[in-house]
Structure 1
Amino acid sequence: MSNPFHSAYLRGSFGSFAADMRKMINAPEMSDVKFIVGEEQKVVYAHRCILAYRCEAFRTMFAQRVLSRDAKEAEVPFVLSDVQPDVFLAVVEFLYTNCVMLSRDIALDVLTSAVEYGLDELQRMCVDYINSTLTVESACEALQAAVTYRQTNMKDKCLAFIEGHTKSIVKTRGFHELSDLALLAILQSDMLTIDEPDLINFVREWAHVNSMDKIAEVWKFHALKKPSGIAAHLPRRRKGTRLREHHKYLNFYHK
């Protein structure tokens, strides 16, 4: 016979809980830790217990102060000069409410902080937002972040967007600021919608502001790329590349 007085786990309104927790963000009342954030040296108030139990990085940060056994040092604000105040507040908002307000201006920087603080769920939220708001101007910067932080899904989304807007994207500042690994990710694609000579010129422009060490290597991979499957021994032109007479002179077996 079942017990009519069994236990039950009931959940209240998450919306009202998050709204109440949001009131505590950067509130001086009853806060017990301060941060000096960014070049603006903005003061941000917080609560140690929330940050520590939500984020191992903050727990370690606070523990180091405790180990110092210096009461005066314990009251000294933490200085975070390399992060923008809006970015840090977005991280704090996530830690307090499990929600975050993102914009194109801060999303990549919030992703960076999420990686640094080991906040996997915040990383996922940032990636979802960035994937859904890609533009010609932001695509290369987003790709660079995806390569740097090994975000495979975000990398694939960025490459698909770049493939569809190649002619415009190669003219952007973000393209010229790509690392060699991020450029390689683009050149490995055979779906770029730009003609070969034009792409060569833009890669040369990239080389003027970047190291030349790997440009020959990545371009050789691009030019000699072969398809998989039955016709693996044959070359395959990328989408958008016109057939040219000089293609027949490529040495497909050059290493």
Structure 2
Amino acid sequence: MGDASLPDAAPEPYLRSTDPEIMPWWLTWPEVDPARHPFDRASAPDVVRSLAPAASVPTRPPGRSGQDDVYQWGQRVGTRWADEMSVALVRHYGRWASGWRWGVGEADVGGGPVHAWCCPADSMGSPEQTLAVVTEALVEWRGWLEELVERFDRFLPLVTDDRADVALDAWERAVAHLVTVVVDRTCADGGWEHHCRQVLGWFLTLAGVPAERHASLVEHAIGGRFHSFMPPPDRLIREVAERFAAEVDRHAR
């Protein structure tokens, strides 16, 4: 009898996938290198609309994103659809495309460099609006990867010289520049330091440093020094760059 008077239990929220195939946290440089993965911006809107999830885009309910019914819809309906779209994009373009929803700060896949997408409650609307945002986010993510190529190329190949100070200076300038760029792009918001580590790892790959050494080199330089929601001062960026360069040089000699 008591059970009959109880309200229906709220459905469990859908938990965002952590499948590495559609989450960008573990992407390696070969998986994102624009030179290996062609992309035509002009055709991107048509490609997005042609994918299976585009035929069943859920419409976001009206109201503010923080409103309970909108938030719950985002958790239970929108996130499931975003995962399905991620799967479709990765199958079409390759693993690099998983970064389309790596939003700045506390997005559904947070700590990233993408400003066009935050989360379903904030970024979805009508089906047509949602597909336009997905396309914009995908193009923005690709643009970031292409920008990184240009920035990497400013320092590669790294200067090699028998004098330690010359080699150290080259590494220090490269690392300080890349950290500063990531801070700016991610707004040093929640989780930004993880993408910073990733970008430095990508640079190490292109510099010819063996992959098995990346984690220890980055940890030696950054470990405990960068924090969410805290843009590092120039002094700290220089310190990290110096530690990074010294550790690379120590292993190279």
TM normalised by structure 1 equals 0.25
TM normalised by structure 2 equals 0.26
Rg (Cα) greater in structure = 1
Question: Comparing both structures, which one devotes a greater share of its residues to strand?
Answer: 1
Question: Comparing both structures, which one devotes a greater share of its residues to helix?
Answer: 2
Higher relative contact order (CA 8 A, sep 6+): 2
